[in-house]
Amino acid sequence: MGKSPSRAAAFRDSAEVRKGAKQPDGPEPDRGTLVTPSAEFPPLDPEERAALGRIGERWRVPRRPDELPVDPTLGRSRRGPAPSRFGRLTPIDLFTVEEPGELCATGPAHEPGSRTGRALARVRRTLFGPPLSSSAVIYERMRKLVALPILSSDLLSSVAYGPEALIAVLVLAGTSALGLSLPLAALLVVLMIAVGVSYRQTIPAYPHGAGSYIVARDNLGTTAGLMAAAGLMLDYVLTVSVSIAAGVSAITSALPAFTPATVLLGVLVIAVLLAGNLRGVRTAGNIFVLPTYAFVAAILALLLVGYARAAGRGFAPVSPPPVPATEGLGLLLVLRAFSSGAVSMTGIEAVSNAIPAFRPTEWRNARTTLGWMVGMLVVLFAGLIGLIHLNGLVPRPDQTILSQLGRVAFPTGPWYALLQATTALILLLAANTAFNDFPRLLFFMARNGHAPRRFLHLGDRLSFNNGLVALALAAALIFVAFGGHTASLIPLYAVGVFLAFTLSQAGMVVHWRRHRDRGWRRKLVLNAVGATLSGLVLLIAAVGKFAQGAWLVVIAVPALVLLANRIHRHYAALHQALALHPPSAEPVTPAGPRPPAGSAEGEELPQEVRHLVIVPVARLNRASLRALAYAASLGQPTLAVHIAPEDAEADRFREQWQAWGDHLRLETIVSPYRAVIGPLAHYLEALHTTRPELTLTVIVPEVVLRHRWHRLLHSRAEQRLRAALRALPGVVVTSVPVHVAE
């Protein structure tokens, strides 16, 4: 399985477009537009490239490629012997020659060598599909009709619980307070349109994706970007938990017998969503297209029938059942109700985060999709609030308001069951928006060094597997901790997402002031309105719901920012330690410029490395003799070390050494407390302290066993020694394996 010419050509063409080709009537995309597996391997900066050339000029080892003892192309047309019981790299057409000096690993080359590994690989292929070539990343993207259900499932499904969340707070002040639902809903519609228009402006300005994180980071600074990222991460985790909780609630409303299994059902759904997303973007899209469109159709049918019935009675509202007031109707309660209803907007930023997942032209398709999403959200949310008011419905502990609407609109026939089925399905699958955006956000954070680099890795199906698993585990933990109750989770919901909204829109205000593009004043005003309204909701949610659980988010955001900064400091220190040193103005001698004494740069030059080879020998057998032979073949000073528990055993070993021929220098260490690893490690550390310029190469004989359970019968001293020496600078540990068939 070599490279597919058509796919490789398309991949190269796409890469060329993203490196510099300007789109006809849109912003110029940058290299971040297309997320590829190469993101794990960033290029060298100019200073490092210069240092690399400088080091290469000092190398004194001549390159003689024709003197290799083996054909590096592996004999493309020649079939080698069958793999041995231990062989994992036998050349049996596992590689093809693509061009001089380049081999391409075929499908069989990716198969594990062990029997257990091959069995696990077959299970993985069955569950998630066969691996995809790196060049297929350009095809694993979405058209608008597929992106709409994938990215809008969270936003549109929130209308199933957003209106109820608003009314559930108002009803605390009694039946008379329910009339405020209409003006509050009107304000929320204004907020939806303002934030939606603001994000439509963000998309062409930042066509590389990452939404709030990148916008806030570029314009407001790193800390603001990390705060936006922390808010989004919490939002995505809670999206999964709340959506699953609401979906299970829809199931138990129709089928009360399943109520005791609420937590189990939720965890199973999270596992199914994880498996579906691990199969890749296109496969996940095919799974989620039908449920989303079916839910939209069901809600529209509910609205049409409901308003038709209301028109039959002249749109006269039905009086709601009397509900005693448990709280006074004050400003704080109204603000709490407003912020609770604002959870219907969660997911509106999903498109701006996932721009690279669209087909070209990415930003244009993303902006169109976002417009469709906001329009549908406004229609569904406003329609449901009005219908709830006309029917005089209030929250009930045993049934959701949407379920009550369904029973009123469809008293007979299968339509109520279809409504509940599509509602449950969309709520359960709404978490897919988070599964699509959370790993991508971690990718951008990892690319900037604020998240573990493992989140840069694309899995077999070109999906961010590590991010998907992290999201599933975090959401399942929260879902189980809160017992799957939607009402307990919603107070945590609005703070994080509106923090991201506010910082993103504030960042866009700064962006327009800096760049002053055509029409920048109008765009600045729109983003300023979005930032102001989002900031007000953030303040309302943080204050009004602080005692109900929002304090957890208020604490979690700075904690995540602190963690991200600690991660960045670690990677910065690591880069400083591993980076190639910039060139210095030193005179060039005939032998080349010599690095200053004590410079780490000399460690990259073969002529500057001074060796001492050390072979720990417990007993003289075939394994140790093979290690000694390998050490002597290197042509470097070699020292054998034996750890003896007492003088008598040390004398016996020296006699055996003399019988062998005393070919190498032997040093015997008596360990009267019978420890082996500790004295040997301290001895090597003492040698290194005495001559720190020496590179100590420790060659350990290692017995490779046939069966895993055989390892329980051995001490595995090689691994313990390797772990003990890992912290010592200037010490290299290698092993000489001896395979045992039984």
Q: What CATH number does residue 514 fall under? A: 1.20.1740.10
Contact present, 162 and 377 (Cβ < 8 Å): no
Sign of dihedral through CA atoms 388, 391, 395, 397?
A: negative
Are residue 229 and residue 292 in the same domain, yes or no?
yes
Quick check: is 4 in a domain? no
End position of a domain, from candidates 518, 548, 570: 570
End position of a domain, from candidates 523, 541, 570: 570
What span, in angstroms and rounded, lies between the C-alpha atoms of 681 and 725?
A: 6
Overall pTM > 0.75: no
Are residue 374 and residue 254 in the same domain, yes or no?
yes
What span, in angstroms and rounded, lies between the C-alpha atoms of 307 and 299?
A: 12
Are residue 139 and residue 99 in the same domain, yes or no?
no
Quick check: is 39 in a domain? no
Quick check: is 151 in a domain? yes
Phi, psi of 49 (to 5 degrees): -65, -40
Pick the closest to residue 432 from 606, 287, 266 (CA basis).
287
Binned at pLDDT 50, 70 and 90, residue 586 comes out as very low
Phi, psi of 457 (to 5 degrees): -80, 135
Quick check: is 249 in a domain? yes
Are residue 550 and residue 489 in the same domain, yes or no?
yes
Are residue 561 and residue 644 in the same domain, yes or no?
no
Does 305 or 581 have the greater pLDDT score? Answer: 305
> Structural domain tally of the chain?
3
Are residue 616 and residue 483 in the same domain, yes or no?
no
Helix axes 144-157, 362-391, angle to 10 degrees: 40
Are residue 448 and residue 541 in the same domain, yes or no?
yes
Most confident by average pLDDT, 122-136, 280-294, 400-414: 400-414
What span, in angstroms and rounded, lies between the C-alpha atoms of 88 and 74?
A: 14
Residue 554 pLDDT > 90: no
Q: How many helices (H) and strands (E) does the chain have?
A: 25, 7
Residues 156-191 pLDDT 10s: 888 887 898 899 889 988 888 888 999 999 999 998
Contact present, 280 and 463 (Cβ < 8 Å): yes
Pick the closest to residue 448 from 356, 569, 350, 328 (CA basis).
569
Task: Report the b/e string of 109-145 with b at 16+ CB within 10 A.
Answer: beeeeeeeeeeebeebeeebeebbbbbbbbebbbeee
Are residue 233 and residue 320 in the same domain, yes or no?
yes
- Count of CB atoms within 10 A of residue 21's CB? 11
Residue 385 pLDDT > 90: yes
Domain that holds residue 669: 609-739
What span, in angstroms and rounded, lies between the C-alpha atoms of 164 and 417?
A: 20
Are residue 138 and residue 94 in the same domain, yes or no?
no
Quick check: is 722 in a domain? yes
Quick check: is 51 in a domain? no
Quick check: is 1 in a domain? no
Residues 496-520 pLDDT 10s: 888 888 998 899 999 989 888 888 8
Residue 58 contacts by C-beta under 8 Å, 6 or more apart in sequence? 592, 593, 594, 605, 607
Residue 52 pLDDT > 90: no
What span, in angstroms and rounded, lies between the C-alpha atoms of 180 and 609?
A: 79
Q: What is the pLDDT of residue 304?
A: 93
Are residue 378 and residue 453 in the same domain, yes or no?
yes
Are residue 616 and residue 719 in the same domain, yes or no?
yes
Quick check: is 583 in a domain? no
End position of a domain, from candidates 545, 570, 595: 570
